[in-house]
Structure 1
Amino acid sequence: MAHLVKLSDYVSRYQIDLNHYSSQFTRMKKERWYYIKAEWEQAQNRLEEIEPDEAPQQKLLNKWLQHPIWNSIKSWKIKEAPFLEKDDFRSLDDSLQKKRQEYLNSVFESQITWASSSLGERSNLDEGFFQDKWLKQFCIDIPENYFLFYEPIFYLKNAEIEFEILLISPTEILCLTILNGEDLSVFEASSERFWIEYIHKKRKKRLSPLLELTRMEKIVQQIIKQKNLHTEIRKVVLSPNSIIDNKLKGSKVEFVDKRNFKLWKEKLIKHPSPLKKSQFQITSTLLSYCQTKVMEDGEEVEEITETEK
């Protein structure tokens, strides 16, 4: 589960101490899963240890099946089923996988809480983020050796600049934009300002996602260069539900659509490197240029950013 270090312009605990809160989050989620799994295993053991007296119907059935008449009926096979119905053990019908999903949902909520509040401050959180499928997918599916910026707002030269998604891996920065389309959509990728979306024999103009990616890349390069930091920056267009017909030649942009999204995601998840010092430095630097608004007496107050200090 990735570290959600910045969400929109909300106050983030990671901005206070990236090293401390990244390690604390890792410890928190491991401990939470340990106790959930241990509780589930204990409940399973308690169910197995229930005496027959606690299930009188089962005991009666067993006695009836031992009658001599059943010895002559060799072809009949009766599967014994427990008759236990106790409120205390309703949750035992849940599989461990269901428990794990409940755990993932609870940690996702914690990720949003950590990215929208600190111990002494909070932001005016848009509850819609809890239902954001892409935010949830990146937070849950991407491993903890990644730092995630989701729709952050950077502040440069007295101007607010909205980003889409940044993923900071141990070896590179990924600038991501999501190109939403229908299941049968085909996007014609070109160097023009507008792309063409073909859907149900109709053509529709769509603003090229390359414009956003180019802007994100330039700003990120500018920020890390000022701090003498260096890493590879990769630009990615994601369209998991549609097809991208790439007609660009020599483009350094990676196009990921419904045909290769699963493979792309698997490679991302299997990144073998642990968190690195340079990764912390780059993430901290980017965080210092992010816009942050906190709540004071019911009103939003803008905090000072790196460029204003």
Structure 2
Amino acid sequence: MAQLIKLDEYASRYEYDLKRYTSQFTRLKREKWYYLENEWRQRQLVESEPNDELDDEDTDWFATEPNKFVQLFQKMKRKMYTKDAELLEEDLDEEEKQLPSFPATLEALKQQFLEETFHSQLRWASTSLLEESRMHPKYKWDEWLRTFVTQIPDNYLLMYKPVFFIKNAPIQLDIVLLSPTEVYCITLLEGTKNSVFSVSSERFWLEYIEKKQKKRLSPLITLNRTTSVVGPILKKAGSTLPVKKVVLATDGFFDLQAQGHSVEYIDKRRIASWMEKLKRHSSPLKKNQVMAAEALLAHCQTVAIPREPDEEILIDEEPLK
């Protein structure tokens, strides 16, 4: 999971100690999954064990004397066993209600774990030990924020819609994704499903929807704004990471003229392969990558209020929650 180090203008614990929290997140995530998977496997084993049914005739030592007393005793014993079984079943049902629900398959468990960890990431990206920000609910349902966080490995650092403070003025950018070897400035181009975008250097592009067309503000405007902020900051910090421009069409296609060396155009046909390429980057976090992220975070704006003192502040390491 990519580490969400900055979201909008919210307080982020990564801002205060990036090196500590990047390593802590990876360790806590690994440990949580280890124990969760083990508990799931143990439950699967328990549920798959056969239930031995009680056979009265085989275990009853009164069976050698089939008289009326024995028959009466066996009848009473069956009633007692049935009642005990009902009470035991009720107790187990009550205990089961108090336990957290576990999905039936390991794949479903992984998806549940990713969902829970995604919400933990949102918390880490909107609170620090001493401050907290009021996060807009839209980010909980942001499809591409969720995709970047849950589908890209831990060695990527993500800044999603960060607000920078440049020349005494706030400026909101698009997406900045730092890999161990390069920095991606990404602009999302959302449109009608299966529409085609005609790429040009003009201020407006044309979006073709079946037999209709409409003008769209060029995404290169916001993309160039992002790179014009990110590039100089990295250069001043001494970073040697190359900055790459990406326009991502989430539901549509680019025409054949959408080819260029300075901008990479990723449309609906290439999103899966592009994401897979990012996943294959197995290099761990690099010193230059962390330095670049720290330089960018230092220029971000944060709007937050003081947090109420609680137990979290008193411990050295917070749980992933």
Query: Normalising to structure 2: TM-score of the pair?
Result: 0.79
> How many Å apart are 1:89 and its aligned residue?
6.6
Which string of whole-angstrom CA distances, capped at 9 and with x for unpartnered residues, describes residues 51-104 of structure 1? 2228xxxxxxxxxxxxxxxxxxxxxxxxxxxxx997467956611111111111
Equivalent in the alignment of 1:17: 17
Cα pair 2:103 2:109 within 8 Å, conserved: no
Does the residue aligned with 2:296 lie in a helix, a strand or coil? helix
Residues 45 and 263 from structure 1, CA distance in 2 versus in 1: closer, same or farther, beyond 3 angstroms? same
Alpha-carbon deviations, 1:268-306, whole Å to 9, x = none? 1111221100000000000000000111489xxxxxxxx
Pick the aligned partner of 2:106 from 86, 96, 99.
96
Matches of 1:257 and 1:250, distance apart in 2: 14
Aligned mate of 2:149, from 132, 139, 144: 139
Q: Is the 8 A contact 1:43 1:89 kept in 2?
A: no
Is the Cα contact below 8 Å between 1:240 and 1:258 reproduced in 2? yes
Matched residues, number: 271
Q: Deviations 1:11-59 (Å, cap 9, x if unpaired)?
A: 00100100100011011111111111111111111123342228xxxxx
- Which residue, out of 201, 221, 242, partners 1:232? 242
How is 1:74-153 mapped onto 2 (pairs within 5 angstroms)? 87=93, 94-153=104-163
- Asked whether the equivalents of residues 191 and 248 of structure 1 are also in contact (C-alpha less than 8 Å), the reply is no
Choose 143-152 or 219-228, whichever is displaced more. 219-228
What amino acid is the match of 2:179? S
Amino acid paired to 1:38: N
Matching residue within 188, 204, 222 for 2:214: 204
Mapped to 2, the partners of 1:19 and 1:165 lie a distance apart of: 21
Give the conservation status (yes or no) of the 8 Å contact 2:130–2:307.
no
Q: 1:42 to 1:189 in 2, by over 3 A?
A: same
Percentage of pairs with the same residue? 45
Deviations 1:190-226 (A, max 9, x none): 1110000000211110011111111111211111122
What amino acid is aligned across from residue 291 of structure 2 in structure 1? Q
Q: Which amino acid aligns with 1:178?
A: L
CA distance in structure 2 between the partners assigned to 1:192 and 1:107 by the alignment:
42
Unmatched tracts of structure 1, length 5 or more: 55-83, 299-309
Aligned 1:1-309 pairs, distance under 5 A: 1-53=1-53, 87=93, 94-247=104-257, 250-296=260-306
Render the CA deviation track for 1:112-147: whole Å, top value 9, x for unaligned: 000000122100111221111111000000101100
Structure with max Cα Rg: 2
Answer with 251-260 or 12-21: which moved more.
Answer: 251-260
Contact 2:8 2:163 in 1 (8 A): yes
**Greater Cα offset, 40-49 or 102-111:** 40-49
Letter in 2 for 1:108: F
Q: In structure 2, the residue corresponding to 1:134 is in which secondary structure? A: helix
Q: Secondary structure at the match of 1:52?
A: coil
Q: In 1, distance between residues paired with 2:102 and 2:294?
A: 44
Larger RCO of the pair (alpha carbons < 8 Å, separation 6+): 2
Distance 2:290 2:102 in 1: 42
Root-mean-square deviation (Å)? 2.3
Cα distance in 2 between the residues matched to 1:158 and 1:207 = 27
- 4+ runs of 1 displaced by more than 4 Å? 88-93, 248-251
Q: Is the 8 A contact 1:47 1:89 kept in 2?
A: no
